[in-house]
Amino acid sequence: MPARRLRSPVQEFGFELALCAHLEETTDSLVARQLGAAVASPGSRIVDTVLVEPGPEFDARTRITPSTIPALAVESAAGVGRATYWKDAFDCHPDVARRVADRAVELGFFERERRGGREYVRRTTRYPDDWFSRLVGIENKPDLGRPGDLERQLRTDVSLALFDEVVLATESYVTRAHLNRIPEEVGVWRFDPDSGEREVVREAATLSVADPGVELLDERPLRTDVAVVGAGEKARKRRRIAERAYGKGWRSYDLPACARMSLTDDGRPYCEHFGRVVDPGSDCGESCPGFEASDPSELGLDAIRAERSPWVREPSGVARRQSGLDQFG
């Protein structure tokens, strides 16, 4: 791959979307972006791109709902064959339990009934734990000349081992010095967002996702704070990442009400005024010199995702009417 002019920070969003589109086209995986990947310190680590490889029960998951099933609903004590009093189904604050139960019913994962003035819930189907197999976490850093916290982030990803593989994707020419500064387990891709050409500079090692991991919390002179994350905690987090990825995907942006906005064939937001893919969340609006007001776009991002990925937009559903459900009111 020849040397290229590097992108500005504004265009890093375009690099990320181009890589997502490329991976969706060239793999059988679900592709999602901007997902949390910390356990002990939630929110402290956001992974740019995640690949979810389908498992043997993938079809069973697609039949339930196209949306993310709330983690607390999946982890609840509500079963399939026997209804449970809704408060007893959850180990959390009743207000949170109420919201989760309502959402699970809305999605068709729960159904409910009343008995003697009390509400009970049951699952409409067994949750298919084997619907996904491997997870790949990708850190996008188009310009290695501005690494930021790259080394620390990748060391945390490797030591925690939530992902079966961790990869660094860049547009930069990758030198031996670059490779020496990141963990040897991390794979490296060089990706050209214009041509869609992807070069594997270094293969990623397979990490021990079934074993306990170590999450880096803080680094200071003469002191490093870490947390040991058990295998069970990791398994729950992996399921939550996969479930969130299924519902969210990578086209997680709202299109502006601008006549200059259109979509590429793979669903990236393209601005005719600037002649490139833009980030609607930061680049668009009435203050933009190219803004031309129009009715909100009716372009279907979900339809594009359904056509180009294993995700199912309109599943058959799994809800079953149980005796007593018609008494709910």
Domain range annotation of the chain: 9-59+129-248, 70-126, 261-308
The SS3 call for residue 216 is strand
CATH architecture designation of domain 9-59+129-248: 3-Layer(aba) Sandwich (3.40)
What was the pLDDT predicted at 54? 98
Q: Can you tell me the mean pLDDT for 50-79?
A: 97
The 3 state secondary structure assigned to 121-140 is: EEECCCCCHHHEEEEEEEEE
pLDDT at residue 3, rounded to an integer:
45
Lowest-pLDDT range of 25-29, 121-125, 201-205, 293-297:
293-297
Report, as an integer, the average pLDDT of 67-86.
95
pLDDT above 70 covers a percentage of the chain that reads: 92
Neighbours of 96 (CB within 10 A): 12
Q: What is the pLDDT of residues 252-278, one digit of tens each?
A: 998 888 999 999 999 999 999 999 999
Contact 248, 302 (CB under 8 A): no
pLDDT at 57: 98
User: What pLDDT sits at residue 319?
Assistant: 59
Comparing 323 with 184, the larger pLDDT belongs to 184
Alpha-carbon distance 229 to 213, whole Å?
Answer: 5
What percent of the chain lies above the pLDDT cut of 90?
Answer: 78
pLDDT class of 4 with cuts at 50, 70, 90: very low
Rounded distance between C-alpha atoms, residue 268 and residue 276, angstroms? 10
> For residue 6, is pLDDT > 70?
no
Contact status, residue 143 vs residue 172, Cβ threshold 8 Å: yes
Average pLDDT over residues 153-172: 97
Q: pTM of this prediction?
A: 0.91
78 burial level (CB within 10 Å; 0-12, 13-18, 19+): buried
Give backbone dihedrals phi and psi of 50, rounded to 5 degrees, phi first: -130, 135
Give pLDDT tens digits for 213-236.
999 998 878 788 999 999 999 999
Banded model confidence at residue 5, pLDDT cuts 50, 70, 90 = very low
* Residues contacting 5, CB < 8 A, separation 6+: none
Residues 6 or more apart whose Cβ sits within 8 Å of residue 107: 64, 65, 67, 69
Phi, psi of 215 (to 5 degrees): -100, 125
Closest among 171, 177, 174, 182 to 142, alpha carbons compared: 171
For residue 297, pLDDT beyond 90: no
Ordered DSSP codes for 249-298: -S---PPPSBTTEEE-TT--EEETTTTEE--HHHH-STTSTT--B-SPP-
pLDDT confidence of residue 298: 67
Summarised one tens digit per residue, pLDDT across range 25-61 is 999 999 999 999 999 999 899 999 999 999 999 999 9
What's CA 225's distance to the chain center, in Å? 27
> Rg of the chain over CA atoms, in angstroms?
22
Give the dihedral of Cα atoms 319, 322, 327, 329; nearest 10 deg.
-20
Cα–Cα distance for residue pair 178/128, rounded to 1 Å: 41
Strand partners, 138: 49, 167
Query: In sequence order, which residues have a C-beta less than 8 Å from that of residue 47 and are 6 or more positions away?
Result: 34, 35, 36, 37, 137, 138, 139, 157, 163
Per residue in 101-153, pLDDT tens?
A: 999 999 999 999 999 899 999 999 999 999 999 999 999 999 998 877 899 99
pLDDT at 1: 57
